[in-house]
């Protein structure tokens, strides 16, 4: 089974209606294992909180997303294990370290990155990480 590194821009679409949501959900039909830095859970939680604050979703839906998210990943890698690579990428690419945790994991696993973020796509190309655009 192949691995796919999934960033928050895709994982959030698994829970909430957003542009590209259908494509993000179709990823879950593929025969792949999803991996991500554990930061993805905080990012999903932040997106859920923002949607709750704007009254787009209920508190129950927001909490469900955060509780359910870890179950969708075969592997959640501690950002502590990626800090060296991510900080080097951040400096070398002049790109926020949050995204560089995903890039570092993709490099480490030699796996493509699924993202819907154009800035992330550009950074991934500079880092020579294969990208699956959602």
CATH number at 63 reads: 3.40.50.1010
- The mean pLDDT of the chain is 96
Rounded CA-CA distance 111/4 in Å is 6
Domain tally for the chain? 1
Q: What is the pLDDT of residue 1?
A: 60
Beta bridge partners of 32: 2
Rounded CA-CA distance 53/36 in Å is 26
Q: For residue 46, count other CB atoms closer than 10 A to its CB.
A: 13
Residue 83's pLDDT band, with cuts at 50, 70 and 90, is very high
pTM of the model: 0.94
Rounded CA-CA distance 116/16 in Å is 14
Tens-place pLDDT, residues 55-78: 999 999 999 999 999 999 999 999
Q: Domain range holding 17?
A: 2-133
Tens-place pLDDT, residues 99-121: 999 999 999 999 999 999 999 99
Element (H, E) at 39: helix 39-53
**Ramachandran category for residue 94: left, alpha or beta (phi over 0 → left; psi -120 to 50 → alpha):** left
């Amino acid at each position: 089974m192949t691995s796919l590194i999934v960033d928050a821009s895709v994982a959030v679409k698994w829970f909430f209606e957003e542009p590209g949501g259908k494509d993000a959900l179709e990823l879950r039909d593929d025969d792949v294992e999803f991996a991500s830095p554990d930061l993805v859970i905080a990012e999903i939680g932040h997106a859920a909180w923002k949607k709750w604050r704007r009254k787009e979703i209920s508190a129950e839906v927001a909490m469900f997303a955060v509780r359910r998210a870890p179950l969708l990943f075969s592997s959640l890698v501690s950002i502590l294990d990626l800090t060296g690579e991510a900080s080097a990428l951040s400096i070398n690419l002049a790109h926020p370290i949050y995204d560089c945790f995903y890039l570092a994991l993709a490099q480490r696993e030699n796996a493509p990155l699924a993202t819907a973020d154009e800035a992330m796509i550009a950074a991934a190309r500079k880092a020579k990480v294969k990208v699956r655009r959602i």
